[in-house]
Amino acid sequence: MTDPVIVVGAGPTGLLLAAELALAGVPTVVLDRDEAPAPHSPGQAVNAAVMDILDQRGLADELREAALPLPGAHFSLLWLRPEELPGPPAARGLLVPQSRLEAVLRRRAEELGVEIRRGTQVVDLGRFADSVSVRLRTADGEQLLRGSYVVGADGADSTVRELAGIGFPGSGWTVSGTVGDIEADFADLSVQHLGAHYMGSGGVYSGAPAGPATLRVITTTFAEDGSPGTPVSLDRFQADIEELTGRMLPARRLLWAERFTSVSGNAERYRLGRVLLAGDAAHSFYPLGGLRLSTCLQDAVNLGWKLAADLAGWAPPGLLDTYHAERHSEGERARLALDAQLALMHPAAGAAGIRALFGELTRLDQVNEYLVKLVTGTDVRYRVDDAGEIPGAADLLGHRLPGTAPLLRTGRGVLIAPSTRAHAAAGWADRVDTVDPTAAGTAPALLRPDGHVVWAEGAGDLERALKQWFGAPR
């Protein structure tokens, strides 16, 4: 029997990656040291890029049910105007507790046959030419598990990254704070307690509905000042909130609250032989506005099909290495975008001039468009060679093509082409679906399983693109 892919970490990255692999028929096991799913995942802002990814796999509607739309987009809490962007409106982000997103992904992974083993901590790693092994610590003692590949999706403090000896250089920016849910009567809340607010060098306050009479509060200070995961009492939380906002938050009770710390770092490499890194294990930065989770989930959909192609034997040479090439630069770009947002906030007196100027720049349409696409994660573009000579068509290459999500449910490549052209993909029929452009409602294009365009009518040679991304024909 084939050794499974071992995914370490049942957070959003690990769960989506496992579902992607299982969709492509790859035996996959997910290991997590926690005995049960985290009841209180801290995230809540789900940006447009996450919704696009979920939509591609038919999971977006389920998440939208009973969720609130994400109110607007900002860069360093300088508010932008997403509604003014040209073209069709992008998917709307959501305000939804991350635990609900994880529940959707977990159910999908399990439906597809992924084995999720809990109470299983990875403590050692063996790397071999044709396999990997991980040593697991469980309540019953230690065991060894062999796999074809191991993916560290085990969070910012990644054990897999450390065991593989992969460095995590960063800029030194560190933020800390408290995240928790407070039960309150919304009618008693002050305007300061709702929404996200920059409080000068005091930090950042964010309060958003997380359920009926439940407010998810995040306080951030621009320093490392606490041990992550430590529980926080209601009195202490209320004191922090009052210090930041100047107003007492009247609470009925505290549902949970804990300290968090976030560092700025990007792994030196996302692939070392049969060891791969994804999500927070690969990159970490200040979790403001939703870019962190979208960067994680984009890793998962970028890696899933490439790993599956490698294991199925049809991957063209170097395909798996494009994971590092494409995602490392995106992890770095996202990390720097968050470092830049911090630099516009702290220290407040020193940053005031550049912040005021930046605020003026955001009024320019092009700046607004650039920043909205950056913070919503929708500007990700991968390098595609052979761009051809028709600029309009070449502009599509590397991007995702709006409106194509329903075509990507199977997790296979998609050739959008009239029947006269579609026969060109006959040799790839086991990897690439063909769809008529009229039915698709878009221009002819070849999409990878993660939705990115690698050929468009007028930009490049179709057969060459098929071989480059989908290997030799059968």
Ligand X SMILES: Cc1cc2nc3c(=O)[nH]c(=O)nc-3n(C[C@H](O)[C@H](O)[C@H](O)COP(=O)(O)OP(=O)(O)OC[C@H]3O[C@@H](n4cnc5c(N)ncnc54)[C@H](O)[C@@H]3O)c2cc1C
Nearest CA-CA partner of 175 in 297, 308, 264, 273: 264
The interface mask with ligand X, positions 253-282, x = CB under 6 A, is: -------x-x----------------xx--
**215 neighbors 181 (Cβ within 8 angstroms):** yes
CB of 155 to ligand X, least distance (A): 3
Return the number of the residue (157 or 395) whose C-beta is nearest ligand X: 157
| Token pair of 36 as six digits | 């049960």
159 touching ligand X, by CB under 6 A: yes
CB of 251 to ligand X, least distance (A): 19
265-266 vs 5-8, strand pairing mode: unpaired
Q: Select the span of 151-159, 265-273, 310-318, 392-400 touching ligand X (CB under 6 A).
A: 151-159
The residue type of 158 is S
CB of 200 to ligand X, least distance (A): 20
CB of 222 to ligand X, least distance (A): 14
Which of positions 105-144 make contact with ligand X (CB under 6 A)? Answer: 121-122
161 touching ligand X, by CB under 6 A: no
Residue environment code for 342-354, b if the CB has 16+ CB neighbours within 10 A, otherwise e: bbbbbebeebeee
444 touching ligand X, by CB under 6 A: no
97 touching ligand X, by CB under 6 A: no
In the chain, the largest separation of any two C-alpha atoms, in whole Å, equals 70
Prior bond to 347 cis, omega within 30?
yes
12 touching ligand X, by CB under 6 A: yes
Q: Select the span of 31-39, 138-146, 168-176, 188-196 touching ligand X (CB under 6 A).
A: 31-39
CB of 185 to ligand X, least distance (A): 24
CB of 345 to ligand X, least distance (A): 16
Among 3, 27, 40, 42, binds ligand X (CB under 6 A): 42
341 touching ligand X, by CB under 6 A: no
34 touching ligand X, by CB under 6 A: yes
Among 76, 98, 176, 266, binds ligand X (CB under 6 A): 98
CB of 66 to ligand X, least distance (A): 17
300 touching ligand X, by CB under 6 A: no
CB of 291 to ligand X, least distance (A): 6
Among 82, 155, 304, 471, binds ligand X (CB under 6 A): 155
Return the number of the residue (100 or 292) whose C-beta is nearest ligand X: 292
396 touching ligand X, by CB under 6 A: no
Among 6, 78, 145, 153, binds ligand X (CB under 6 A): 153
**Whole-angstrom distance, CA of residue 461 vs CA of residue 429:** 18
Q: Select the span of 12-20, 55-63, 330-338, 400-408 touching ligand X (CB under 6 A).
A: 12-20
CB of 388 to ligand X, least distance (A): 36
Q: Select the span of 68-76, 149-157, 378-386, 437-445 touching ligand X (CB under 6 A).
A: 149-157
SS (H, E, C) the chain: CCCCEEEECCCHHHHHHHHHHHHCCCCEEEECCCCCCCCCCCCCEECHHHHHHHHHCCCHHHHHCCCEECCCCEECCEECCHHHCCCCCCCCCEECCHHHHHHHHHHHHHHCCCEEECCCEEEEEEECCCCEEEEEEECCEEEEEEECEEEECCCCCCHHHHHCCCCCCCCCCEEEEEEEEEECCHHHCCHHHCEEEECHHHCEEEEEEEECCEEEEEEEECCCCCCCCCECCHHHHHHHHHHHHCCCCCCCEEEEEEEEEEECEECCCCEECCEEECHHHCEECCCCCCHHHHHHHHHHHHHHHHHHHHHHCCCCCCCCHHHHHHHHHHHHHHHHHHHHHHHCCCCHHHHHHHHHHHHHHCCCHHHHHHHHHHHCCCCCCCCCCCCCCCHHHHCCCCCECCCCHHHHCCCCEEEECCHHHHHHHHHHCCCEEEECHHHHCCCCEEECCCCEEEEECCECCHHHHHHHHHCCCC
Return the number of the residue (260 or 455) whose C-beta is nearest ligand X: 260
Return the number of the residue (99 or 427) whose C-beta is nearest ligand X: 99
180 touching ligand X, by CB under 6 A: no
Return the number of the residue (291 or 432) whose C-beta is nearest ligand X: 291
CB of 105 to ligand X, least distance (A): 9
Which of positions 182-241 make contact with ligand X (CB under 6 A)? Answer: 218
331 touching ligand X, by CB under 6 A: no
Which residues are near ligand X by CB under 6 A?
Answer: 8-14, 31-34, 42-45, 98, 121-122, 153-155, 159, 179, 218, 260, 262, 279-280, 287, 290, 292-293, 296
